[in-house]
């Protein structure tokens, strides 16, 4: 008997598909093999996302779930072998930035200011999460080792799992999949901060983290979100960073995952900045992130106003979720 139409085509490895090698319906069918990791729906839109690194022409097949709205890269062994490009847009510090940082610091106790790694965003997270010298803290994410070092120098009980390098990301991923907690850090914490780690780590990470939070403890999940920038720039949105960001949430999908992982959401703070506009504009005009021009003061001010307006409307491209055990 002849195979039915949806069984007749065996696709090439999905993460290496290109626009010319497979038509849209063939790509869409792959979602039946790799359903949404959050809500398990098998229906979604295929999205070919180009790599943003200089001169890179590779594309990766993501799916945008029709139900919960997340964007995900189907599981694959191959993409974990890639080397991460260093293309990160960081607003330059000037006198105005220094004043903002100082003002944020004044809301906290002076020891925070001694931690050289602390930026305004870090200070605000710790302020909201009520970090004290008695708090046992775990920082998970790229750059965690530097932040933890600064906090320890200031006398805090801080620990970190850095996922900034390929090796450390693979190691922490294996740890989360196998639910094997490392022996050299404590088992239970008062505060766990996930800084753009959930985009890279296996989906079970949040549930594993839940098991290591003390009663009345808090987990702060800093995540990218599909919002205005995704709708406006599509696959040129600079935060996509394929294939390293394997799962990017919508507000709906993250809320669903948080509940299923045993958390209730206490507070949500949108914290995106002007980078979502400037760097995505550059990519849309085929300007590599490493060659982006510096915005003028008025351009920066205008983009910052737009970013603040988007945050107020919960449409910014990143947010902090303050989670508590149910």
CB 308 within 8 A of CB 317: no
Beta strand pairing status for 213-224 and 318-325?
antiparallel
Stretch that binds Zn ion, among 9-17, 64-72, 173-181, 318-326 (CB under 5 A): 64-72
**Segment near Zn ion (CB under 5 A), from 5-13, 65-73, 181-189, 194-202?**
65-73
Give 65 or 226: the residue with its C-beta nearer to Zn ion.
65
Taking phi over 0 as left and psi of -120 to 50 as alpha, with beta for the rest, 241 belongs to left
Binders of Zn ion: how many residues, by CB under 5 A?
Answer: 7
The DSSP output letter for 174 is: H
Q: Are 225 and 319 in contact (CB under 8 A)?
A: yes
For 234, phi then psi, to 5°, come to 60, -130
Closer residue to Zn ion, CB minimum distance, 67 or 75? 67
Q: Which is nearer to Zn ion, 68 or 118 (CB)?
A: 68
> Are 275 and 91 a contacting pair, CB within 8 Å?
yes
With respect to Zn ion, which residue has the nearer C-beta, 36 or 123? Answer: 36
**Using CA atoms, how far apart are residues 67 and 253, in angstroms rounded to an integer?**
9
**At closest approach, how far in Å is the CB of 42 from Zn ion?**
10
Q: Rounded CA gap, 58 and 18, in Å?
A: 8
CB of residue 223 to Zn ion, shortest distance in Å = 15
221 binds Zn ion (CB under 5 A): no
Return the number of the residue (65 or 151) whose C-beta is nearest Zn ion: 65
Q: CA 58, CA 49: separation in Å to the nearest integer?
A: 9
Q: How far apart are CA 31 and CA 250, in angstroms?
A: 18
Using CB under 5 A, which residues numbered 3 to 62 contact Zn ion?
Answer: 36, 38-39, 41
Give the footprint of Zn ion on residues 66-95 (CB under 5 A): 67-68
- Nearest CB to Zn ion, comparing residues 38 and 303: 38
Residue ranges binding Zn ion (CB under 5 A)? 36, 38-39, 41, 65, 67-68
């Amino acid at each position: 008997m002849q195979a039915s139409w949806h069984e007749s085509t065996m696709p090439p490895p999905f993460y290496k598909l290109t626009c010319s090698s497979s038509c849209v319906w063939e790509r869409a069918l792959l979602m039946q093999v790799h359903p949404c990791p959050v809500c398990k729906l098998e229906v979604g839109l295929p999205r070919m996302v180009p790599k943003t690194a200089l001169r890179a022409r590779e594309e990766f097949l993501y799916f945008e779930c029709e139900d919960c709205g997340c964007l995900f890269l189907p599981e694959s062994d191959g993409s974990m072998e890639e080397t991460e490009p260093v293309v990160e847009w960081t607003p330059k510090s000037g006198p105005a930035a220094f004043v903002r940082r100082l003002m944020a610091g004044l809301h906290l106790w002076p020891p925070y200011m001694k931690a050289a790694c602390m930026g305004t965003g870090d200070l605000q997270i710790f302020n909201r999460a009520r970090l004290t010298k008695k708090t046992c803290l775990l920082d998970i994410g790229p750059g965690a080792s530097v932040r933890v070092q600064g906090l320890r120098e200031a006398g805090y009980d801080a620990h970190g799992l850095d996922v900034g390098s390929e090796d450390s990301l693979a190691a922490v991923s294996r740890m989360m999949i196998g639910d094997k907690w490392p022996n050299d850090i404590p088992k239970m914490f008062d505060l766990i901060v996930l800084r753009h780690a959930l985009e890279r780590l296996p989906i079970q990470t949040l549930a594993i983290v839940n098991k290591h939070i003390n009663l009345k403890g808090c987990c702060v999940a800093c995540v990218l979100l599909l919002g205005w920038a995704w709708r406006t720039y599509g696959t040129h949105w600079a935060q996509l960073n394929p294939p390293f960001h394997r799962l990017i949430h919508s507000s709906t999908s993250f809320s669903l995952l948080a509940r299923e992982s045993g958390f209730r959401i206490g507070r949500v703070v949108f914290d995106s900045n002007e980078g979502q506009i400037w760097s995505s504009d550059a990519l849309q005009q085929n300007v590599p992130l490493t060659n982006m021009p510096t915005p003028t003061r008025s351009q920066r001010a205008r983009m910052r106003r737009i970013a603040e307006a988007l945050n107020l409307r919960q449409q910014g491209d990143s947010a902090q979720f303050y989670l508590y055990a149910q």
